[in-house]
Structure formats: structure tokens, C-alpha cells
């Protein structure tokens, strides 16, 4: 099924403040998602988690500080196309989980 990447407002608002290597690494994750909606960043450099509904969270092990990327699939106006919504959030607790949940029922 075709997919498109849409950036959440949290990504748009915050991405411009990052410098390399954060910017480069986040861009690489976006490119990976553009190629494959089931993309998983490399375990050597990233902490990654995915729940049963397809909600994903990743953080670079050394460069992103308390920032992390999240993405999840949702069905938009066209039921034949999946939207991968990508955002950023900041946490002060390394064990905290994101309280956002994906909209719609999309199965992988």
C-alpha cells in the first residue's frame, strides 16, 4: 500500500533549531521512512520501540539529548494510502513513555 510522510507540527516547529549531527540523523530517519513505512533505525546508534498498533519512538543514543522522534501510521482521506505522521517531543525522564496515540485503525 502506498504511503506518504507528513510532519506533525511538533516536528516543523522544532527541527529548525537542531544542528548537525542531529539534523543529519533525523533526516536519515525520514529518508528511511520514505523508502519503507516499516523502517527501523539501526540498534547500534538508536533506541527504538514500537507498540502493537504501529506507534514508534526512537532516540539517538548519543546526539539527541532529551529529544526523540515518534511516528505512526494513519489512514487519511484516501483509504488506499497510509499516512506516516512524524513528530518530535522532548522528555526529561528517560523511562517516560509518550502519551499520544495514533488515530484510526491501521494494521501492518
Per-residue pLDDT tens digits for 36-53: 999 999 999 999 999 998
* Type and span of the H or E element at 15: helix 9-15
Question: Taking the complete model, does pTM exceed 0.85, yes or no?
Answer: no
The DSSP code for 93 is: -
Reported confidence tier of residue 27, pLDDT bands at 50, 70, 90: very high
Assess if CATH 3.40.190.10 describes domain 3-90: no
In this model, does residue 80 exceed pLDDT 90?
Answer: no
Q: Name which residue leads in pLDDT, 73 or 77.
A: 73
CA distance 14 to 89: 9
Amino acid at each position: 500500500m502506498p504511503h506518504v510522510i507528513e510532519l506533525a507540527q511538533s516536528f516543523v516547529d522544532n527541527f529548525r533549531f537542531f544542528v548537525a549531527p542531529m539534523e543529519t540523523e533525523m533526516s536519515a530517519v525520514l529518508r528511511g521512512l520514505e523508502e519503507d513505512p516499516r523502517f527501523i533505525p539501526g540498534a547500534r546508534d538508536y533506541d527504538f520501540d514500537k507498540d502493537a498498533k504501529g506507534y514508534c519512538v526512537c532516540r539517538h543514543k548519543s546526539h539527541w539529548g532529551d529529544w526523540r522522534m515518534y511516528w505512526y501510521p494513519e489512514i487519511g482521506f484516501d483509504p488506499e494510502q497510509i499516512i506516516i505522521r512524524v513528530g518530535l517531543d522532548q522528555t526529561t525522564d528517560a523511562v517516560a513513555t509518550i502519551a499520544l496515540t495514533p488515530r484510526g485503525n491501521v494494521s501492518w
